[in-house]
């Protein structure tokens, strides 16, 4: 394979995200990323110290993207409708990026202060995290349609919040 002269960090992270989306983080290798961007794997170590550093870069990008979506959703309406918008945005992100979402909340996920702050903000609607985790794992067994159950659970949560503030 002829090597490309240059590849950016952004291209490497994007390639890693594509591979994770297809095969999961466990299958990610520097060789696969190198093949994806058209460079030899050893050249990637000039940009990322190792596979863990590349996974951390992917995870940070995913958290930043989720955080931005939640911020956007929070600004669309007054509470409690803002919470509904946040929950819907959270679920949409997780369903659009199931393997990336899995990486973000894995037991061995990055634990730096930046990741922890975004993780805390993203996990505020705990019911959403639990529901989405069940949905993505195929463990939803409450009967009925997933969308209907999500809407019902969200209505119940919002109703409880409104009742607490009444």
Residue 146: what pLDDT? 81
Per-block average pLDDT, block size 10, for the chain (166 residues)?
Answer: 74 98 95 96 93 90 88 80 86 95 81 63 61 75 74 78 67
8 Å CB contact between 76 and 108: no
8 Å CB contact between 65 and 27: no
Residue 25: what pLDDT? 94
* Cα torsion angle, 122, 131, 150, 95, sign: positive
Residue 58: what pLDDT? 93
In the chain, what are the domains?
A: 1-48 (1.10.10), 59-164 (1.10.357.10)
How far is the C-alpha of 112 from the C-alpha of 85, rounded, in Å?
A: 28
- State the pTM of this model: 0.74
How far is the C-alpha of 94 from the C-alpha of 132, rounded, in Å?
A: 7
**Nearest CA among 40, 47, 64 for reference residue 12:** 47
């Amino acid at each position: 394979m002829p090597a490309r002269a240059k590849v950016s960090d952004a291209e490497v992270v994007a390639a890693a995200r594509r591979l994770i989306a297809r095969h999961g983080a466990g299958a990610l290798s520097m060789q696969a990323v190198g093949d994806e961007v058209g460079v030899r794997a050893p050249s990637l170590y000039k940009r990322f110290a190792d596979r863990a550093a590349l996974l951390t870069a992917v995870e940070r990008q995913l958290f930043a993207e989720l955080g931005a979506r939640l911020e956007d959703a929070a600004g669309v309406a007054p509470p409690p409708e803002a919470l509904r918008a946040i929950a819907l945005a959270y679920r949409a992100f997780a369903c659009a990026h199931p393997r990336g979402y899995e990486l973000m909340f894995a037991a061995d996920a990055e634990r730096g202060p930046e990741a922890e702050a975004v993780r805390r903000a993203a996990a505020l609607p705990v019911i959403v995290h639990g529901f989405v985790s069940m949905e993505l794992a195929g463990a939803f067994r409450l009967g009925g349609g997933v969308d209907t159950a999500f809407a019902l659970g969200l209505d119940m949560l919002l109703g409880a919040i409104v009742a607490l503030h009444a």
